[in-house]
Amino acid sequence: MTEATGPRVGGIVLGSTDPERLWEWYRTAFAPRAAAAAGPEDGEGPAHVLELSGTYVIFESRDDVGRKSVEPGRILINFEVTDIHGMARRLTERLNPHWVRPVEAVDEDVLLGTVEDPDGNYVQLFEVTGKSADQTAADSSAA
């Protein structure tokens, strides 16, 4: 693994007409034991936040977005998972999302699948397998 040379992405803000519904979907999908974070003390209302492996996903109420994304492929939230087939089963059983791209091998070392969240944003899952996974583990151990 190479040493970081720039800023780390600290968070992603998802604007929505129904941030609580969107937060609940992501919580169910990726952090089933998470609770909503408290909002700012200045009266702006509660925020719905998930902390996922050091990155914050923030669900914000916005009146300048539509109920559904008109360009869902413009920005994809990408989650690396260790068992993509298990995650796909769990998502299907719990949330029954629309699969934009079913889980498939994109090359000999990577599995990829894409679902749509309730606002129509694309959420991509990937798993590194084979030689790349072995090399990533070796690089992490050496660090």
Please tell me whether residue 65 adopts helix, strand or coil conformation. Answer: coil
Instruction: For domain 68-143, give the CATH superfamily.
Output: 2,3-Dihydroxybiphenyl 1,2-Dioxygenase, domain 1 (3.10.180.10)
Instruction: Please say if the pLDDT value at position 4 is more than 90.
Output: no
| Identity at 138, one-letter amino acid code | A
What pLDDT digit, counting tens, does each position of 22-43 carry? 999 999 999 877 766 655 444 4
Alpha-carbon distance 29 to 44, whole Å? 27
Please tell me whether residue 64 adopts helix, strand or coil conformation. Answer: coil
Record the pTM.
0.79
Instruction: Please say if the pLDDT value at position 83 is more than 50.
Output: yes
Cβ neighbors of 14 (< 8 A, separation 6 or more) are 22, 57, 58, 59, 60, 77, 119, 121
> Running DSSP on this structure, what letter comes out for residue 118?
T
What's the mean pLDDT in 16-23?
A: 94
What pLDDT digit, counting tens, does each position of 51-73 carry? 888 889 999 999 999 999 999 99
Domain ranges (residues) in the chain: 8-67, 68-143
Alpha-carbon distance 15 to 22, whole Å? 9
